[in-house]
Structure 1
């Protein structure tokens, strides 16, 4: 009798129910990236979780720093690079 492969004690199973067409889509995408369905789904879920948490990040600054930031945003651009950019011919007008 063959021994069962050792499981990582840090991992836990997650069971999902999904439509067959979604499973096929995920399988095709995973194959295109050379990954298993599980690895593909874990990576996609991790990225989505990080994005969701980053969207909720609160940055606290003191009033003086906040005003300095607003002043910079309100300042008109003034640099050689910006002037060259504004004088460049748009690519759609070639």
Structure 2
């Protein structure tokens, strides 16, 4: 699973507690899935919850703008892209699997 980049200065240690209440059936299901992946319950739950949280945030499509900012947004979309020599070079290279 890809990991989220950490903001500068964020500690890598787990120093926050999250408490949940679950049914026996839910805990057994989570434990079975964690065991199937060779993970602890905590690791499995954190990775799964973070992956779902990223998905929810990335899937947000609606955002509101007032009329002036909406015009600015449309102008930015309609403007030609800025020249980017590095991107142009990269796009001109063959993919590794095609070499």
Give TM-score scaled by structure 1 length: 0.48
Give TM-score scaled by structure 2 length: 0.47
